[in-house]
Structure formats: structure tokens, C-alpha cells
Amino acid sequence: MSTRFLVLFAPLALLMVHCSSPGVDNRLSRLEAKQDSILKVLGAMQEKNEFMAMRMGWRPPADTLPKDIPTGTSFTSGPEKAALTIVEFSDLQCPYCSQFAPILDSLSRAYPKDVRIVYKNFPLSFHPQSRAAAAAAIAAGKQGKFFEFRYKVAPHFRELKDSVYLSVAKELGLDMARFKQDMALTPEVNKILDEDVALGRKIGVEGTPTIFVNGRLAQDRSLEYFTKLIH
């Protein structure tokens, strides 16, 4: 038992030695109730820490069956017959997707003839800006700058809002009047997002980013992992 718990139980142990009067009994009951409350809080904190540790250290299970993932209307970069086709199901407000973005950018720059990237939207319901960010990226894509927009907006995942999208669009030299019109979260854009999510769920996507390489679930997300697959 840790020192913290010894200190927590010490007052209760002392009172148990002298529990002969109603006043002491009442105090003992109050301390027991307080102790139970503290233990519940500590238990909840432990469960949360264990959950976060599991998420941070998460690795997908081995999956030997290739998935049929149609490109559809998704934005792509790289040649159609590249040695490596990387399909990413992503959420622009996801911190892990933000960390993964520069890896994909580096891969596409280092191996422009060997790597094809296909972006699929998978906005998570607890990310309030995920759909608006996706709509803005699609608007940039209509001007041929989808991936440039995606990579530049990635570091701003904590502060996503219209002013960020407009600032990045301006930095990329987009037609701002057109961008402002196209970045609206219209029924057509929501349909694109919903179709991507439906496809993802069909092939087992549960969180972001989920990466498939040539149809198979990636076993790692490091630059070294993808580089080895190319060579």
C-alpha cells in the first residue's frame, strides 16, 4: 500500500480504537463516507490514465486480408500505379492525425513516383470543428490545393475555426471569394463526409488516423515503416 493510502486510512484507524460514543460513531461514519468518495475519485483517475496509456500505445492488430477501398471522389496525390497506395481515414481536428500529417508529406516529397496518397474523411462526433475543417479542405481541393491545405492546417488542430481556414487559404494563394463560398458545410459536403464514414465503418475503421497500405491495415505509423515498404 502506498504512503498516500496509509495517510488516508490513518485517521480512520485511530478512531476505530475509540469508537465507544455516539459522537465518535458519527464522526467515523462521516470519515468513512469521505474516504469512499476519495477512493472513487482515485479509481476514476486511474481508469482514465490507463485508458489514455492504452490509446497512446495503441497498435492495430495484424490484418492479413486486403480491403477493397474505392477511391471514388477522394482527393489523391501521386501516380495511380504507385508501388505504395496509402489510404488515410482522418479527422483534421484529431491530434494524432496532426502528428501523422508531416510523415505523409515527407513520403510524398521523397518518393513522388512511388507513393500515392488517398484521403478519406472520418470526422469524429466529439470534434466540433472536424466537419467544418473538412469542408474547408474540400474547398481548397477544388482549387487544386487539398493536400497543401491539409498539411498547413494540421499544426492548428487545437484552434480550428474560420479565421484559421481563411488564413491558410490566403497563404496558399487561393481565390478567396471562391474559397469563402466553397467552404460552406453544405448538404453536398456532408454527403461526401457521410459516405467516407460509412465506407470506413464497413472496413473496420474505429478511430483516426487509420491507415491502409495497398489495402492492408498498416502495422505502424512511422516514416521508417513506410520507407521500408518502398525499398
pLDDT at 62: 55
Smallest CA-to-CA distance from 119 within 95, 151, 143, 96 is with 151
In the block, cell 467544418 appears at 132
Please say if the pLDDT value at position 108 is more than 70.
Answer: yes
Q: CA angle, corner 179, sides to 176 and 181, nearest 5?
A: 115
What are the C-alpha distances in Å from 27 to residues 17, 19, 30, 34, 201? 13, 9, 5, 10, 55
3-state secondary structure of 37: helix
Phi first, then psi: what are they for 50, rounded to 5°?
Answer: -65, -40
| Percent of the chain residues past pLDDT 90, beyond the cut | 71
110-151: pLDDT as tens digits: 999 999 999 999 999 999 999 999 999 999 999 999 999 999
pLDDT single digits (tens) 173-207: 999 999 999 999 999 999 999 999 999 999 999 99
Collapse the DSSP code of 217 into the 3-class scheme (helix H, G, I; strand E, B; otherwise coil) and give the result. Answer: strand
Inform me whether the pLDDT recorded for 210 exceeds 50.
Answer: yes
> Does the pLDDT value for residue 26 go beyond 80?
no
pLDDT of amino acid 33: 73
The DSSP symbol for 220 reads: -
What are the CA-CA distances from residue 15 to residues 18, 24, 29, 75, 137 (Å)?
5, 7, 10, 69, 64
